């Protein structure tokens, strides 16, 4: 707060004394920034291909800022990243810049771990209108903050095996489908052998919050109340989730959730091995389907009452304890700027966060069509935040997921699970005084 | 425990040298293990998010919070089930296998190496391999079973089999560890004692029971205590294969501690839970020491 | 006493037992090797051959591309070197200091021995996860963060596990050896090094393998303290093939095979010692 004020006073004073020579000053300060020197540590997770991306971005960055040394710290896979970073933050050695999964943004903001980037962006007159609202809003933009700067993002989509659809003579799904059509397609794509054993499922649905919230949103549902303070029992949410779970438990056209025990991976395996003809996932699927020997396409979730789609993203945060915040900011700005974005989206792991870059389509992989770009852009233009909350891990990762998994397994109804989850979650929120 | 003898010329210098010999180890243990452990005890009376300053809450973590924590009790129950099946099963299997392999059976070297393979694999590899072998749809285990007309059991995805499956994976992973230690113990039983027993008319089983087992008691004690410690702290294999499911079937305590610490940012409560787990393991170990360790010989 | 005829009957019975034991061991060996066999097979398969039904037990065309991919994608030689260096240094220290302390706990009568030993045992019972942060803070205070000493020094002086193992073993050795040596005028260090240590080959080689393995496979602690790419260890590199969304089985399995080789080598070298046991059957009992 005090810092912001001081910065404000300073810039005011500067403005007063330099009226008429603003352009010169601005030019100079931009030049100063290029000569800025310092050393920052940047911690990230990722598969080896992503390390190459970080190196490429850093190299480009150093062409513009030759005196800022960026120490790349590839922690490893994503699995133990939070534990590692949290231990380092707690131990007083936070990295200057680090990756944050979307759900971690409000948590770290609430704990006071990360620096608000909005004042930096404003100071540099960064054109934030060129960034998708779906990545700015969850970072606190509409409350006057920017707790982290998204570096790539993706809506969740449904991927389908074109060869299987051709073989079955079923039309490829497109974004005009609703729940009923979705169910029909799943049933049509399911095959059984002579003994009635299912040999191919219509879909291997993900049972985790990204898919659940997506399907709920498509039915006009919500998870938290308008202020985002309490969990609600929304009939649209219950209805959508029940529909989604029934695909496996009633229609038997979707894989059994208990069999897909691994986190996300099991569903992709089912799709790759031909056990399922559709699978749910974000842009990262294009990476995992690189070695898939078949043709696939993708489309939106079925749209029942609403078109809104939440974005999942990975963001760059700046540690409040950083000793080199100016250099860290320049790095973040560069990474999330045009050059950084163009390099970053080349792996097929995520899509650009900058509207102009997303729309230009430079990030698209060989063979991808304008039609596919349109499917994606349609969702970017119509986003709604996931129910982010500083207590996300307790509310969603534990309480909501634990209760809803029972409904997914057909042990209870989605409505009952939702009621239980809301009761437990709200009692917890009362207890911790939120 | 034996009573202290009067100063004995033969024991001269033992007090001094005893401390010297354990000193390097003791100092390192004090700095890198004991201090963190005491810190965790201190934290168990705090509310601490690991970032902001801790706040003293007295016994609240142990009382109100723990008593209302249903997940903890579910996890505790599952951990107990895991332990009470896997400890005896694992130890008995290890004793039998080690006994056989310490004899003059053909190919013991090969068998021993094979049984040791799982010990050398990392937890990630073990979990990946088994998750895959046990997969209900394209797992190799079901492929073998299909020859016997058993079809499509989802080993890790079915509440009835999940716990047993992770127990067996755990035993598979650790058997070689126990076997190697016990082989060393059985090998050290002097042949002359077996011969003497044979002369007294002891059969194979009696030799095993009356000669091999008592003389290897310290090693068996070691294997048992390590099994107690490891099974009450079981975590990675379970979570990389079933993630605690299906339902609550394989939720275990250690994971709940991890979640409270690093996911819910509640290190104070996680520390309190850890101390409860510590006390449980400690009690079982002491019981084992008291009743199972009777045959240990001090000289 | 046994008459010659009875001995013959016993021998026959023994053979039946032996055959049963052999068959049992074969079955067990199959169960134990099959998953590893499967790992190796998978590491030689092309990605599209991995998830097929029925499973193929021998790849149509074994490929080594997975191995070359793993080698190309991560800085495997550097990581391998770091892991070997850390594991060897730590292991040598651990074996020596655990022997020393284990011997003291088993054979020397010093004040507070039982209590200290119980405290040692107890340290293994506290879930390690909650010790990460205080231990990390200690590293920071010592200035060891992002240095190899952070993964060597805390472990090189031995751990409770090794001390416990060695103590249990020393307890089975006769005390008369010590008494005889003292009468011969040997000092306590001499007794340990000249009289007892030579008798522990089997268990020392066991501890060697366990220590090496523990250090070699250690993941979370090095992950937290090591930050520079040039310092990172092999398990950290291999874990990066496992992403949040999907697993590249073929690469992961190739990595697992590569990473298990040194440990197996260590085991095979130590095997010789296991077999020998201690060669002083006469002394004991």
Helix pair B108-120, B159-187: axis angle to 10 deg: 130
Q: Is residue B54 part of a domain?
A: no
Interatomic CA distance for residues C164 and C187, integer angstroms: 24
Dihedral angle computed from the Cα positions of residues B5, B6, B12 and B16, in that order, rounded to the nearest 10 degrees: 80
The residue assigned the tokens 């008592």 is B214
The boundaries of the domain holding residue B195 are: 60-295
Q: Is the pLDDT of residue B6 over 60?
A: no
Computed over every residue of chain A, the mean pLDDT equals: 89
What stretches of A132-181 adopt beta strand conformation (E)? 149-155, 157-161
A268 and A285 in contact (C-beta within 8 Å)?
yes
Interatomic CA distance for residues C57 and A251, integer angstroms: 35
Averaged pLDDT, C254-266 = 89
Stretch (H or E) spanning A44: strand A38-45
Q: What percent of chain A has pLDDT over 90?
A: 74
- CA of C132: which chain A residue's CA is closest? A87
Q: In Å, how far is C222's CA from the nearest CA of chain A?
A: 10
Look up residue C152 and give its two tokens.
């060597």
Regarding whether B139 and B34 lie in a shared domain, the answer is no
- C68 touching chain A per CB within 8 A: no
Regarding whether B108 and B250 lie in a shared domain, the answer is yes
Regarding whether B69 and B14 lie in a shared domain, the answer is no
| Interchain pair B246, A258: CB under 8 A | yes
Using CB atoms within 10 Å of the CB of residue A170, give its burial: 0 to 12 exposed, 13 to 18 middle, 19+ buried.
middle
Residue C143: Cβ within 10 Å count: 10
Q: How far is CA C26 from the centre of its chain?
A: 24
Regarding whether B181 and B70 lie in a shared domain, the answer is yes
Q: Of A90, A397, A405, which has the smallest distance from its Cβ to B245's Cβ?
A: A405
Sort out which chain C residues have CB atoms less than 8 A from B110's CB and list them: 29
Look up residue A55 and give its two tokens.
């190196």
C94 to A217, B28, C38, C88, C209: CA distances (angstroms): 57, 11, 34, 10, 11
Residue numbers of B between 136 and 165 with CB closer than 8 Å to C:
137-138, 140, 143
Regarding whether B279 and B144 lie in a shared domain, the answer is yes
Q: Tens digit of pLDDT for each residue in C37-86?
A: 999 998 998 877 777 777 888 887 888 999 998 999 888 999 999 999 99
C189 to B13, B20, C105: CA distances (angstroms): 11, 10, 14
Q: In Å, how far is C73's CA from the nearest CA of chain B?
A: 19
Regarding whether B218 and B185 lie in a shared domain, the answer is yes
| Interchain pair C48, A91: CB under 8 A | no
Determine the pLDDT at residue A21: 40
Helix pair C249-276, B108-120: axis angle to 10 deg: 130
Read off φ and ψ for residue B93, nearest 5 degrees.
-60, -45
C196 to B35, C101, C169, C189: CA distances (angstroms): 33, 13, 11, 10
Report the CATH number at residue B112.
1.10.3720.10
Residue numbers of A between 1 and 40 with CB closer than 8 Å to B:
none
Interatomic CA distance for residues C226 and C145, integer angstroms: 7
Averaged pLDDT, C205-215 = 92
- CA of A95: which chain C residue's CA is closest? C227
For residue A336, what are the contacts with CB-CB under 8 A and spacing of at least 6? A131, A149, A150, A151, A316, A353, A354
Confidence class for position C9, pLDDT limits 50, 70, 90: low
Q: Is residue B18 part of a domain?
A: yes
Regarding whether B130 and B20 lie in a shared domain, the answer is no
The residue assigned the tokens 């060393």 is B184
The residue assigned the tokens 């030049």 is A31
| Interchain pair B137, A397: CB under 8 A | no
| Interchain pair C104, B190: CB under 8 A | no
A216 and A304 in contact (C-beta within 8 Å)?
no
Determine the pLDDT at residue B128: 85
Q: Is the pLDDT of residue C13 over 70?
A: no
Computed over every residue of chain C, the mean pLDDT equals: 86
Please state the domain count of chain B.
2
C225 and C14 in contact (C-beta within 8 Å)?
no
Q: Is residue B2 part of a domain?
A: yes
Regarding whether B148 and B21 lie in a shared domain, the answer is no
Regarding whether B140 and B286 lie in a shared domain, the answer is yes
Q: In Å, how far is C133's CA from the nearest CA of chain A?
A: 6
Sort out which chain B residues have CB atoms less than 8 A from C189's CB and list them: 17
Identify which of A154, A152, A103, A156 has the alpha carbon closest to the alpha carbon of residue A281.
A156
Q: Is the pLDDT of residue B3 over 80?
A: no
| Interchain pair A258, B50: CB under 8 A | no
Sort out which chain A residues have CB atoms less than 8 A from C73's CB and list them: 48-49
| Interchain pair A88, C136: CB under 8 A | yes
| Residue of B207 and A10 predicted with greater confidence | B207
Averaged pLDDT, B29-47 = 96
| Residue of A362 and A170 predicted with greater confidence | A170
A157-308+391-432 CATH fold: D-Maltodextrin-Binding Protein; domain 2 (3.40.190)
Q: Is residue B51 part of a domain?
A: no
Question: Which segments of A250-354 does DSSP mark as H helices, in order?
Answer: 265-272, 285-288, 325-335, 338-344
Regarding whether B291 and B218 lie in a shared domain, the answer is yes
| Interchain pair C32, B114: CB under 8 A | yes
Sort out which chain A residues have CB atoms less than 8 A from B245's CB and list them: 258, 261, 405
**Interfacial residues of B (vs A; Cβ cutoff 8 Å):** 49-52, 71, 131, 135-138, 152, 154, 156-158, 241-243, 245-247, 259, 262-265
Pairing outcome for strands B55-56 and B46-47:
antiparallel
3 state SS of A241: helix
Q: Measured in Å, how far apart are chain C's first and last C-alpha atoms?
A: 24
Interatomic CA distance for residues A41 and A69, integer angstroms: 8
Read off φ and ψ for residue A47, nearest 5 degrees.
-70, 160
Sort out which chain B residues have CB atoms less than 8 A from C223's CB and list them: none
Q: In Å, how far is A150's CA from the nearest CA of chain C?
A: 18
| Interchain pair A256, B156: CB under 8 A | no
| Interchain pair B192, C282: CB under 8 A | yes
Using CB atoms within 10 Å of the CB of residue C147, give its burial: 0 to 12 exposed, 13 to 18 middle, 19+ buried.
middle
Regarding whether B28 and B67 lie in a shared domain, the answer is no
Identify which of B76, B124, B83, B84 has the alpha carbon closest to the alpha carbon of residue B252.
B76
What one-character DSSP code corresponds to residue B148?
A: T
B45 and C136 in contact (C-beta within 8 Å)?
no
Q: Is the pLDDT of residue A11 over 50?
A: no
Q: In Å, how far is A269's CA from the nearest CA of chain C?
A: 7
Averaged pLDDT, B157-177 = 93
- CA of C248: which chain A residue's CA is closest? A288
Confidence class for position A164, pLDDT limits 50, 70, 90: very high
Dihedral angle computed from the Cα positions of residues A165, A170, A172 and A178, in that order, rounded to the nearest 10 degrees: -130
| Interchain pair B112, C235: CB under 8 A | no
Q: In Å, how far is A344's CA from the nearest CA of chain B?
A: 28
The residue assigned the tokens 């850390």 is C86
Computed over every residue of chain B, the mean pLDDT equals: 88
Sort out which chain C residues have CB atoms less than 8 A from A92's CB and list them: 137, 140
Interatomic CA distance for residues C2 and C6, integer angstroms: 6
Q: Of A112, A397, A411, which has the smallest distance from its Cβ to B263's Cβ?
A: A397
Regarding whether B246 and B277 lie in a shared domain, the answer is yes
Averaged pLDDT, A219-241 = 96
Q: What percent of chain C has pLDDT over 90?
A: 55
B244 and B238 in contact (C-beta within 8 Å)?
yes
Read off φ and ψ for residue B285, nearest 5 degrees.
-65, -40
Q: Of A82, A90, A261, which has the smallest distance from its Cβ to B156's Cβ?
A: A261
Taking one residue from A and the other from C, the number of pairs with CB-CB distance under 8 angstroms is 102
Residue numbers of B between 218 and 257 with CB closer than 8 Å to C:
218-219, 221-222, 225-226, 229, 232-233, 254, 257
Q: Quick check: do A35-153+313-376 and A157-308+391-432 share a fold?
A: yes
Q: Of B24, B121, B189, which has the smallest distance from its Cβ to C157's Cβ?
A: B24
Q: Is residue B36 part of a domain?
A: yes
Sort out which chain C residues have CB atoms less than 8 A from A41's CB and list them: 227
Confidence class for position A73, pLDDT limits 50, 70, 90: very high
C80 and C140 in contact (C-beta within 8 Å)?
no
Q: In Å, how far is A24's CA from the nearest CA of chain B?
A: 43
Angle, CA A74 vertex, CA A70 and CA A76 arms, to 5°: 170
Residue numbers of B between 44 and 63 with CB closer than 8 Å to C:
50
Identify which of A253, A279, A130, A122 has the alpha carbon closest to the alpha carbon of residue A200.
A253
What stretches of A308-378 adopt beta strand conformation (E)? 311-318
Q: Is residue B52 part of a domain?
A: no
Q: Which CATH superfamily is domain A35-153+313-376 in?
A: Periplasmic binding protein-like II (3.40.190.10)
Averaged pLDDT, C22-44 = 92
A359 and A345 in contact (C-beta within 8 Å)?
no
The residue assigned the tokens 């307790």 is A394
Angle, CA B120 vertex, CA C270 and CA B164 arms, to 5°: 130
Q: What is the domain partition of chain A in residue ranges? A: 35-153+313-376, 157-308+391-432
Q: Of C133, C223, C241, which has the smallest distance from its Cβ to A80's Cβ?
A: C223
Residue B104: Cβ within 10 Å count: 6
């Amino acid at each position: 707060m005090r810092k912001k004020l001081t910065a404000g006073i300073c810039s005011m004073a500067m403005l007063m004394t330099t009226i008429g020579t603003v352009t010169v000053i601005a030019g100079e300060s931009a030049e100063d920034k290029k000569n800025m020197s310092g050393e920052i540590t940047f911690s990230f997770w990722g598969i080896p291909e992503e390390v190459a991306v970080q190196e490429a971005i850093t190299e480009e960055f150093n062409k513009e800022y030759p005196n800022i040394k960026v120490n790349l710290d590839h922690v490893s896979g994503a699995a133990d990243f939070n534990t590692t970073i949290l231990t380092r933050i707690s131990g007083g050695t936070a990295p200057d810049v680090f990756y944050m999964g979307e759900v971690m943004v409000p948590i770290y903001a609430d704990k006071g771990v990360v620096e608000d980037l909005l004042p930096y962006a404003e100071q540099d007159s960064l054109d934030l209108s060129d960034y998708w609202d779906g990545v700015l809003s969850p970072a606190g933009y509409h409350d006057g903050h920017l707790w982290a700067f998204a570096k790539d993002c993706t809506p969740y989509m449904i991927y389908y095996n074109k060869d299987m659809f051709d073989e079955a003579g079923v039309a490829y799904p497109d974004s005009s489908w609703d729940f009923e059509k979705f169910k029909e397609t799943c049933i049509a794509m399911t095959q059984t052998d002579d003994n009635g054993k299912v040999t191919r499922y219509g879909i291997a649905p993900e049972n985790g919050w990204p898919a659940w919230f997506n399907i709920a949103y498509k039915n006009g549902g919500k998870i938290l109340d308008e202020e985002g303070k309490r969990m609600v029992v929304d009939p649209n949410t219950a209805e959508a989730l029940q529909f989604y779970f029934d695909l496996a438990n009633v229609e038997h056209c979707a894989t059994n959730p208990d069999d897909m025990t691994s986190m996300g991976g099991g569903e992709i395996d089912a799709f790759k091995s031909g056990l399922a003809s559709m699978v749910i996932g974000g842009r990262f699927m294009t990476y995992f389907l690189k070695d898939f020997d078949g043709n696939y396409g993708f489309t939106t979730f079925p749209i029942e009452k609403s078109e809104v789609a939440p974005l999942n993203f990975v963001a760059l945060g700046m540690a409040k304890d950083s000793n080199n915040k100016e250099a860290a900011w320049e790095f973040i700005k560069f990474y999330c700027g045009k050059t950084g974005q163009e390099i970053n989206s080349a792996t097929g792991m995520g899509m650009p966060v900058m509207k102009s870059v997303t729309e230009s389509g430079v990030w698209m992989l060989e063979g991808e069509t304008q039609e596919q770009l349109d499917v994606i852009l349609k969702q970017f233009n119509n986003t709604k935040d996931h129910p982010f909350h500083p207590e996300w891990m307790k509310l969603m990762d534990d309480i909501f997921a634990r209760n809803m998994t029972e409904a997914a397994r057909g042990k209870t109804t989605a409505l009952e699970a939702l009621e239980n989850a809301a009761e437990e979650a709200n009692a917890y929120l009362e207890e911790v005084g939120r | 425990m034996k009573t202290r003898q009067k100063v004995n010329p033969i024991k001269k210098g033992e007090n001094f040298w005893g401390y010297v010999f354990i000193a390097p180890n003791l100092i390192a243990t004090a700095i890198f293990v004991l201090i963190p452990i005491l810190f965790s005890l201190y934290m168990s009376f705090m509310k601490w998010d690991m970032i902001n300053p801790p706040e003293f809450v007295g016994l609240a973590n142990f009382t109100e919070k723990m008593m209302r924590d249903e997940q903890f009790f579910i996890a505790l129950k599952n951990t107990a089930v895991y332990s009470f099946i896997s400890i005896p099963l694992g130890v008995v299997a290890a004793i039998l296998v080690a006994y056989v392999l310490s004899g003059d059976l053909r190919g013991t070297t090969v068998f021993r190496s094979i049984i040791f393979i799982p010990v050398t694999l990392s937890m990630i590899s073990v979990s990946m391999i088994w998750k895959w072998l046990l997969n209900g749809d394209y797992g190799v285990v079901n492929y073998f079973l299909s020859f016997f007309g058993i079809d499509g059991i989802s080993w890790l995805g079915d509440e009835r089999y999940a716990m047993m499956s992770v127990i067996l994976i755990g035993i598979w992973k650790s058997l070689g560890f126990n076997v190697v230690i016990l082989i060393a113990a059985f090998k050290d039983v002097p042949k002359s004692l077996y011969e003497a027993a044979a002369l007294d008319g002891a059969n194979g089983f009696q030799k095993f029971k009356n000669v091999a087992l008592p003389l290897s008691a310290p090693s068996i004690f070691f294997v048992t205590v390590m099994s107690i410690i490891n099974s009450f702290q079981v975590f990675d294999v379970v979570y990389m294969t079933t993630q605690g499911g299906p339902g609550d079937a394989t939720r275990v305590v250690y994971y709940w501690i991890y979640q409270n610490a690093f996911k819910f940012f509640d290190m104070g409560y996680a520390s309190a839970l850890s101390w409860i787990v510590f006390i449980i393991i400690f009690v079982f170990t002491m019981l084992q020491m008291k009743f199972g360790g009777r045959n240990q010989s001090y000289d | 006493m046994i008459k010659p005829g009875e001995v013959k009957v016993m021998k026959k019975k023994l053979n039946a037992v032996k055959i049963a034991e052999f068959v049992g061991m074969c079955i067990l060996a199959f169960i134990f090797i099959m998953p590893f066999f499967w790992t190796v097979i998978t590491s030689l398969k092309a990605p599209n051959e991995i998830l097929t039904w029925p499973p193929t037990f021998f790849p149509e065309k074994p490929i080594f591309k997975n191995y070359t991919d793993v080698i190309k994608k991560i800085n495997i030689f550097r990581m391998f070197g770091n892991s070997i260096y850390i594991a060897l240094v730590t292991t040598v220290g651990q074996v020596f200091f655990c022997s020393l302390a284990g011997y003291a706990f088993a054979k020397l009568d010093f004040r507070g021995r039982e209590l200290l030993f119980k405290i040692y045992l107890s340290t293994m019972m506290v879930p390690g996860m909650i010790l990460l942060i205080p231990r990390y803070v200690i590293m920071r205070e010592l200035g060891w963060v992002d240095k190899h000493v952070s993964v060597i020094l805390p472990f090189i002086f031995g751990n409770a596990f090794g001390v416990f193992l060695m103590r249990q073993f020393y307890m089975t050795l006769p005390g008369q050896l010590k008494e005889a040596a003292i009468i011969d005028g040997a000092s306590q260090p001499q007794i340990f090094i000249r009289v007892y240590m030579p008798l522990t080959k089997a268990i020392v080689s066991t501890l060697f393998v366990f220590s090496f393995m523990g250090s070699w496979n250690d993941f979370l602690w090095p992950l937290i303290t090591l930050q520079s790419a040039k310092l990172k260890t092999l398990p950290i590199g291999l874990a990066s093939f496992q992403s949040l969304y999907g697993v590249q089985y073929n690469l992961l399995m190739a990595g697992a095979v590569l990473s298990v080789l040194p440990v197996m080598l260590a085991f095979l070298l130590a095997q010789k010692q296991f077999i020998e046991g201690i060669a002083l059957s006469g002394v004991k009992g």
